[in-house]
Amino acid sequence: MSNLPTIGAEDIHIIPQTIEISLIPKTEFDRIWASKIDLFEQLNLIADMCRANTLAGVKRAGSGHLGSSLSAMDIVVWLYYHVMNTVQIGLTDPDRDIYFSSKGHDVPGLYAVLFSLGIIPTDKFLKLRRLGGLDGHPDVGIPGIEANSGSLGMGISKGKGMAWAKRLKGLPSRVFVLTGDGEWQEGQNYEALQTAAHQHIGNLTVIVDNNKVQSDKLVSEIINIGDLEAKFAAFGWQVARCDGHDFAALAQVFEDFANIHDRPKILIADTIKGRGVSFMEHPFALANNGGLYPWHAGAPDDEAFTAAYREVLLRINERLQEAGLEPVTLESVSPEPKTTSTVSDEYVTKAYGEALVEIGAKRKDLVVLDADLAIDCKIREFEAAYPARFVENGIAEQDMVSMAAGIASQGLLPVVNSFASFLAARANEQIYNATTEKRKIIYGCNFAGLIPAGPGRSHQSIRDISLFGALPNMVIVQPGNATETRLMVDYAINQTSESVMIRLAIGPSPRLIALPIDYQCQVGRGAILRDGADAVLFAYGPVMLHEALLSSDILAIRGIRLKVVNMAWLNRVDDEWLMVTVAECPAIYVLDDHAPIGGLGDFLLNALVRLNLLERKSFHKFAIEGLPACGTPAQALDYHRLSGNLLAEDIAKRELPHETAPF
Amino acid sequence: MSNLPTIGAEDIHIIPQTIEISLIPKTEFDRIWASKIDLFEQLNLIADMCRANTLAGVKRAGSGHLGSSLSAMDIVVWLYYHVMNTVQIGLTDPDRDIYFSSKGHDVPGLYAVLFSLGIIPTDKFLKLRRLGGLDGHPDVGIPGIEANSGSLGMGISKGKGMAWAKRLKGLPSRVFVLTGDGEWQEGQNYEALQTAAHQHIGNLTVIVDNNKVQSDKLVSEIINIGDLEAKFAAFGWQVARCDGHDFAALAQVFEDFANIHDRPKILIADTIKGRGVSFMEHPFALANNGGLYPWHAGAPDDEAFTAAYREVLLRINERLQEAGLEPVTLESVSPEPKTTSTVSDEYVTKAYGEALVEIGAKRKDLVVLDADLAIDCKIREFEAAYPARFVENGIAEQDMVSMAAGIASQGLLPVVNSFASFLAARANEQIYNATTEKRKIIYGCNFAGLIPAGPGRSHQSIRDISLFGALPNMVIVQPGNATETRLMVDYAINQTSESVMIRLAIGPSPRLIALPIDYQCQVGRGAILRDGADAVLFAYGPVMLHEALLSSDILAIRGIRLKVVNMAWLNRVDDEWLMVTVAECPAIYVLDDHAPIGGLGDFLLNALVRLNLLERKSFHKFAIEGLPACGTPAQALDYHRLSGNLLAEDIAKRELPHETAPF
């Protein structure tokens, strides 16, 4: 395994399934559970069988989080198979015990456990990160899932609410919340520690999956969370610590905890990230990959998957043989139908990272801050080039933004980075506060928009424009390709005194968006990508521009000439340019990679009305209605009727209302 | 002082100045500082002289935070007069030491210190909470103010950024941040503790003004922050503790700290809230006011002011006499010109609190949560009536919202409460997360809008509609009077399955807004308060409705008949009602108590365009452009041209563009 695949910290690719995949069916779990062997040996077997199914599920999905699914597995199996009443009394009984994971990305492992218990059926288990299947992060719409997570640090608070409600209702059942260890960089955890202790939430138990590694580096390297036992004790919790892979040790801790009712309890479970697959276990994987952990997210390639699956199966069968039981029976899984999403090799994030490095050579005042997503946000290159001007701040977006405001107050120019959904929402008040100080800060909002849709609602950022929109002196842009990204980064750093929010698609662009040869970065002026006089469609970002161009191609066949405009300026417009751009088009459309409220559509609508340009013209927004769908890009775009095909269909219906022929 | 005035936790009234007020001029501070007496005695004198001026400033302003201005005073004086180089090398030198308060509401005391040092001139010092004067919470536009605060928990992060920048730039100067004690309920503090330790920010010193009391109750009663020394040590900080009113003790701690460079330092300064005025000191004040502290915010009445001022002056002069110095000379201050803001005795918040109590009798599933603003949000009555269904969560908005989501998941109906600016922004991602779980939660967003404008930008909430706007299944309303508030609370609890954000003005209504006799709460339908066919103005909330009605009255004199509509539904509209309402009016105006982006104006504009109702009509939004101004209601409304007078003027200009006569 010397040639490990390079996998990003967040799984933004889908690697298509190319080899055969098998599952261990529920009946096999029933067989082991019904056998007369020792409980801990049963649980060891079941955990490993769930590990095998987790590997299969993630491989089939083409993406997902393996490392912490494997580290948390023994704890989850212990809770569901031995501690909780949930399976016995059923998922709708108000007096059921509740388990959920606050970090949430370990959910492929939880799905495997729920599958083993018959709570998630086979067909659903095989649809990880697919529409109508299992979301990439937990969603309560899925059987057995008790809380939505994926954005970090909310779990203890939520578990506290559940436990408080149980107490109010006089129900004796309990709540168990799993957290990560890196997750303890989020401040909300400490709010919850404090309030739960004060409120004497004795029916709440928190387990820290202390696997030592976050996205790609050791927690102690990113932001050390220090002596957890001392911390938790100082917050008034009952603290225990044990090996999180040792069922006997877990049994002892839970027995001790059962006698404590006057305060909340927390177990620091020392675990190994990637537990159960030798080359995914973090001590080995870090040593063999230059100190970076490659199995946090993303599916293994065929070679790695085959080796991992073989190793786990071998161990299961050896144990079964030792216990005098038959080897495990596998069920082969039919391959997934092919999907047709186009993908190029262009990344706007890559251009973003490169531009920061390039400009950083001249601008010695440029400082880049990270919230443990440096690989995804492509800022590790800046870190390598200018280590003194790079701040790793861990998973603490609020602290990062306020720190940036402090840095800006001293005459430096900070660029803060995270995923759009975390940065725009979690740190919103801190961003406002910096704005009231008139500090110039650049906000790199990665992973903006509907796509990739596999990770689910916690990660899909469809409100960020609205969250930045009402801030004065804040320019919001989203570049459509790498060239435009470089221009926009230069604009943000060198050409404006205002703060700039740069919205970036994080996945590979579906195609290279070709800009006009003479394209320049001019505030409030978009670029016409395809001309047409029947209607104009404003769009932005590589994902939606691709769909817009596709719809224009399709409509051209129907004789509808749809002008497509790349409007990278989401809250600035040049009046004259707008006038000319919409002049000949009787219909104006906006394609928002955003909720229908507060995006480009609303901004342009205001400008059009202000300039009196809507007279005898129609206006319509296409946007992401409701909650964003989880699935492949094609599935999510179709679901929201924003794929090129469906856009064309809906525009044709509006342009040719009397034609009844099927599209 | 047995008959203490009832002052709310946040100072939402302005009590007009009715008695004479004096200041101790800067020259008197110079005299003491130049005298040859003992340093600590000098500082004791200066601190008490600043206390006297703080009392005068707050009394003149008619509002402000006395309790923590007085508890922090000795620390602030110690830093500025003895520790920091700031005054010597000047406020623009990049190598100056920096002090700021993270809690910020102690700023009247800081202003007094800056005044004593000649940094804030007399005329500005006398304009506390007035336009062009001194903001109610710190703003960097004011000389000597280094950071904006007032929303809690951001200070250590920001100070860390300043200190980090100093280190990068090779500057030896230092950063000092003061926090409250209740403020340690905010999680961001713990993020900052952790990152600052990891980043070895050795030039940062934090001082906790450990005065034991928050808005109105003991910290240990609201949410106990426990053993601070153990906590801070567990986070890797150098910890010290001393009497925060003892200059010799402070000297020892700062001497010890000066030798530590490899890690950040924190002093727990044990202080007394209200220090220096016997009846404002918290042990006495709590004992004499049934366990509630009445001096956190708000100006003292004449009797209390006179007693307090006399006590402090007496002590100063006794000390001067002991030191062989002349008594202090006072400068009388001319009274402030009268302002003409109208105020009624109606509070929508009061109706809100009463409605919760009334409905809570029937709805046993109703749970009310508070983030240490129970008095202001008028939910103490609910706490008294149903203590088991009231959750005090301290200053931890994120934890409160996630806890509410957990409570909702168990079939109960939580109502969370805070000020709009804190709840909508700080807990934004938690609110989104709860929305993705489809939990029904009611968000009581108090202190919404421009007015009161005295507390400044941290408290004025002009983005909250936009922050809630892109959430699906979220109804946003703002009632215009007490009757409508009761109807809306009933709607939110009993008549909808959606979540509801109730936006509430927190001050007294300028007048009682009279609703039509047959007014009913019907989703998306407003109420016509004044009829007119020339133009229609949509507004909401008692503050803006008052101005809208005023403008209609004024315009009537000019022959312009302005229809005024109370539109309490900020993101729902009944199409048919809207059609009828705007039918005869060629001009449509919206008055947004909000930024121009993402408020009612944008929502109605979308509806008008969708319904094709803008044909041959004009549309214009009046809204709060830029950052909200601090000042009296009249000052802030005038500044933003949203007062009835200026609205009328601007509407007349649009309606009668050819009339040139002065308005």
Please name the residues in contact with B557: beta carbons below 8 A apart, sequence gap of 6 or more: none
A323-348 pLDDT, tens digit per residue, is 999 999 999 998 787 766 788 999 99
Query: What value, to the nearest 5°, has the Cα angle with vertex A594 and ends A593 and A600?
Result: 85
- Residue A5 in this model has a pLDDT that exceeds 50: no
B614-641 pLDDT, tens digit per residue, is 999 999 999 999 999 999 999 999 999 9
Q: Tokens 């989401």 belong to which residue?
A: A570
DSSP string, B340-361: -----S--HHHHHHHHHHHHHH
**Mind telling me how many Å the CA of B412 is from chain A's nearest CA?**
8
Q: Does A428 touch chain B (CB under 8 A)?
A: yes
Q: Are β-strands A562-566 and A535-539 bridged in parallel, bridged antiparallel, or unpaired?
A: parallel
The answer to whether A69 and A59 are in contact (CB under 8 A) is no
Q: Tokens 């040790």 belong to which residue?
A: A249
Q: What span, in angstroms and rounded, lies between the C-alpha atoms of A552 and A560?
A: 8
Q: What span, in angstroms and rounded, lies between the C-alpha atoms of B650 and B117?
A: 44
* Range of lowest pLDDT (B7-11, B132-136, B161-165, B170-174): B7-11
Q: Does B412 touch chain A (CB under 8 A)?
A: yes
Q: What span, in angstroms and rounded, lies between the C-alpha atoms of B171 and B181?
A: 30
Looking at chain A from residue 57 to 76, which residues have their Cβ under 8 Å from any Cβ of chain B? none
Contact A165 B412 (CB under 8 A): yes
Buried b / exposed e over A267-302, threshold 16 CB at 10 Å, is bbbbbbbbbbbebbbbeebbeebeebbbbbbbbbbe
Taking CB atoms and an 8 Å cutoff, what residues of chain B touch A405? 147, 158, 161
Q: What span, in angstroms and rounded, lies between the C-alpha atoms of A10 and A282?
A: 17
Please name the residues in contact with A477: beta carbons below 8 A apart, sequence gap of 6 or more: A488, A491, A492, A500, A501, A502, A503, A568, A569, A570
| pLDDT band, very low/low/confident/very high, at B125 (cuts 50, 70, 90) | very high
Q: Which residues pair with A23 in a beta bridge?
A: A331
**Mind telling me how many Å the CA of A70 is from chain B's nearest CA?**
26
The answer to whether B142 and B456 are in contact (CB under 8 A) is no
> Cis before residue A452, ω within 30 degrees of 0?
yes
Q: What span, in angstroms and rounded, lies between the C-alpha atoms of A8 and A447?
A: 13
Q: Does A391 touch chain B (CB under 8 A)?
A: yes
Chain A's closest residue to B224, CA to CA, is: A198
What percent of chain A is predicted at pLDDT more than 70? 97
| pLDDT band, very low/low/confident/very high, at A1 (cuts 50, 70, 90) | very low
Q: What is the pLDDT of residue B19?
A: 86
Q: Does A461 touch chain B (CB under 8 A)?
A: no
Q: What is the pLDDT of residue A2?
A: 37
The answer to whether A156 and A179 are in contact (CB under 8 A) is yes
> Cis before residue B452, ω within 30 degrees of 0?
yes
- Which secondary structure element, helix H or strand E, spans residue A482, and what is its range? helix A482-490
Contact B187 A185 (CB under 8 A): no
A396-447 pLDDT, tens digit per residue, is 999 999 999 999 999 999 999 999 999 999 999 999 999 999 999 999 999 9
Query: What DSSP character marks residue B147?
Result: S
Buried b / exposed e over B561-589, threshold 16 CB at 10 Å, is bbbbbbbbbbbbbbeebbeebbeebebbb
Residues B173-183: what's their mean pLDDT? 98
- Residue A6 in this model has a pLDDT that exceeds 90: no
Two tokens at A234? 């100082």
Closest CA to A250 of A82, A412, A29, A375: A82
Closest CA to A191 of A398, A434, A373: A398
Taking CB atoms and an 8 Å cutoff, what residues of chain B touch A391? 164, 199
The answer to whether B162 and B196 are in contact (CB under 8 A) is no
**Mind telling me how many Å the CA of A421 is from chain B's nearest CA?**
8
Contact B191 A197 (CB under 8 A): no
Instruction: Report the SS3 class of residue A222.
Output: helix
The answer to whether B588 and B618 are in contact (CB under 8 A) is yes
Contact A226 B194 (CB under 8 A): yes
Instruction: Report the SS3 class of residue B165.
Output: helix
Q: What span, in angstroms and rounded, lies between the C-alpha atoms of B310 and B644?
A: 42
Which stretches within B25-121 are classed as H helix?
26-34, 39-61, 67-78, 86-89, 107-116
Contact A161 B626 (CB under 8 A): no
Q: What is the pLDDT of residue B3?
A: 38
Q: Phi and psi at residue A316, in whole multiples of 5°?
A: -60, -50
Alpha-carbon distances of A375 from A152, A419, B69, B544, rounded to whole Å: 18, 12, 46, 49
Q: Does B140 touch chain A (CB under 8 A)?
A: yes
Q: Tokens 């080039």 belong to which residue?
A: A385
B387-403 pLDDT, tens digit per residue, is 999 999 999 999 999 99
Q: Phi and psi at residue B141, in whole multiples of 5°?
A: -70, -15
DSSP string, B550-600: HHHHHHHHTT--EEEEE--BSS---HHHHHHHHTT-SEEEEE-SS-SSSSH
Q: What is the pLDDT of residue B562?
A: 98
The answer to whether A69 and A109 are in contact (CB under 8 A) is yes
Q: Phi and psi at residue A626, in whole multiples of 5°?
A: 70, -160
DSSP string, B252-280: HHHHHHHT--SS-EEEEEE--TTTTSGGG
Query: What DSSP character marks residue A457?
Result: T
Two tokens at A212? 């030592």
Q: What is the pLDDT of residue A339?
A: 67
Task: Name which of A367, A470, A594 is nearest B595 (Cβ-Cβ).
Answer: A470
Complex confidence, ipTM: 0.97
Give residue B151's region: left, alpha or beta (phi > 0; psi -120 to 50). Answer: beta
Q: Does B421 touch chain A (CB under 8 A)?
A: yes
B432-460 pLDDT, tens digit per residue, is 999 999 999 999 999 999 999 999 999 99
- Residue B1 in this model has a pLDDT that exceeds 70: no
In terms of residues, how long is chain B? 663
The mean pLDDT value of chain B amounts to 95
Task: Name which of A148, A161, A433 is nearest B151 (Cβ-Cβ).
Answer: A433
Q: Tokens 């221009």 belong to which residue?
A: A487
Helices and strands (H, E) in chain B, number of each type: 25, 18
Q: Tokens 């060239």 belong to which residue?
A: A483
Contact B165 A426 (CB under 8 A): no
Residues A540-549: what's their mean pLDDT? 98
Chain B's closest residue to A369, CA to CA, is: B161
Sketch out chain B's domains with CATH numbers.
Answer: 21-333 (3.40.50.970), 348-503 (3.40.50.970), 527-655 (3.40.50.920)
| pLDDT band, very low/low/confident/very high, at A163 (cuts 50, 70, 90) | very high
